[in-house]
Amino acid sequence: MHIHILGICGTFMGGIAALARAAGHRVTGCDANVYPPMSDQLQALGIELIEGWSTEQLALQPDLFVVGNVVRRGNPLMEEILNRGLPYTSGPQWLGEHILAGKWVLAVAGTHGKTTTSAMLAWILDYAGLAPGFLVGGIPENFNISARLPGKPRQEQGGQSPFFVIEADEYDTAFFDKRSKFVHYRPRTAILNNLEYDHADIFPDLAAIETQFHHLVRTVPGNGRLIVNSREESLHRVLGRGCWSEAEYFGTDNGWSMGQAEANGFEVRWHGAKQGHVHWALLGEHNRMNALAALAAARHVGVPLEVGIAALAEFHNVKRRMEIKGCVRDITVYDDFAHHPTAIATTLAGLRHKVGSARILAVLEPRSNTMKLGTMKAQLPVSLSEANYVFCYGGGLDWDPAEVLAPLGATANTFTEMDQLINAIASTAIPGDHIVVMSNGGFGGIHGKLLKRLAD
């Protein structure tokens, strides 16, 4: 089959392209902006890329157009596909029908931690010799790729692994399918990691997102299992609307819980009884909760708990999750994907626990659709409270970040020019500081520019 992917350079659609190519399909694609690193990754796989939405691409005559949710009505290529009655589908639907069909799907859903928990779970299964396939929204450092097909399990004489781990996003599927992506995946094991209000551009309120999670729960079979964060009232409401599968809870003494956090890890407990100790260097209670969920899900497919715990000792996190980009003059610069106030708060709390009284400089780009709309701007001052200084890039916002961050006083600074922002950070930083750059985008390559400025 020849598929042509519209919006191919996004992490999710790029992962689909890689999976389709590995499965033997001819793959071409287009996007508004075709540039490294995704363009290099895809071209290395033999995938032809076209920049823009020209209707001349129809001359490729693919068997099927696979449409990413970046594509809207009015897109010239999509309009011509519709006018000619050519076959098209969404990325999640194609994935569900051509890659996930017949697999034991382990889906990781939640407002926060999907990528990290998916990476943990895929690594645990791989460490156990199960050779799972996976598709996550980042680059797990244990694999250095975001997607792959299932391989051959270590203990099997032949055949392909039945397991596939997928990051299950609640964002809508496509302009013609407003259901959440995850309803296409049909998991047998589903992690419900947490649930807060987000994606203000498509959901009017939290109740609307809870309805989508309810739809996901409806797709889990009776012999499946839900792994649920017990601390989230929103998830209790979701399951209260109906649950037809076994459920295990984490974050509670009536299920999976953690002992006292230590510098080198934490204790894993099941119904209060010690099961083992995870030895690792990851920061924050949010990552410990992610680990409990991953261990519980892996146990559902037969991975002994002691094997899962041993695997986590060798887990190296995901790129852009408190990834150290460099250290200059004893000033450490981190890159983190945090963009929701809750994620910002947990990221900074984890770092504070690690560095003690050392100074933390938080650098924030409110770039997500939710943040651009200003839906959660009032929560920002509290979420940034662990930082000694805050630097916010306000370019492209319709609200005034200086006004929003005023409760932080003189410790908060806002800028609309990148050079001014970098100079201010560099002028403030002293040896021993930790600079955390938080954005869900590239942030104009600020990390490299800042490290150079600090070195100068």
> How confident is the model over 151-180, as pLDDT tens digits?
999 876 568 899 999 999 998 999 999 999
**CA angle in degrees (0–180, nearest 5) for 182-183-185:** 70
Q: β-strands 331-336, 434-438: how paired?
A: parallel
Question: Could you read off the pLDDT of 215-269 as tens digits, one per residue?
Answer: 999 999 999 999 999 999 999 999 999 999 999 999 999 999 998 777 688 999 9
293 pLDDT exceeds 80?
yes
CATH: 3.50.50.100, 3.40.605.10, 3.40.50.720, 3.40.50.300. Which one for 2-90?
3.40.50.720
| Domain extent listing, the chain | 2-90, 100-312, 323-455
Cα dihedral sign, 192-261-362-375: positive
Q: Which of 160, 128, 161, 111 is nearest to 376 (CA)?
A: 111
C-alpha separations of 341 from 161, 383, 405 in Å? 38, 5, 13
Indicate the class that CATH gives domain 100-312.
alpha beta
What is the reported pLDDT for 36?
Answer: 67
Residue 412 C-alpha from the chain's centroid: 28
Percent of the chain topping pLDDT 70: 97
* pLDDT tens by residue, 7-29: 998 889 999 999 999 999 999 99
Which of 65-74, 141-150, 401-410, 420-429 is most confident?
65-74
Q: What is the DSSP code string of 58-109?
A: GGG--SEEEE-TT--TT-HHHHHHHHHT--EEEHHHHHHHHTSTTSEEEEEE
**Superfamily holding 323-455:** Mur ligase, C-terminal domain (3.90.190.20)
User: What pLDDT, in 10s, does the model give residues 405-445?
Assistant: 888 888 888 888 888 898 889 889 899 999 999 887 777 78
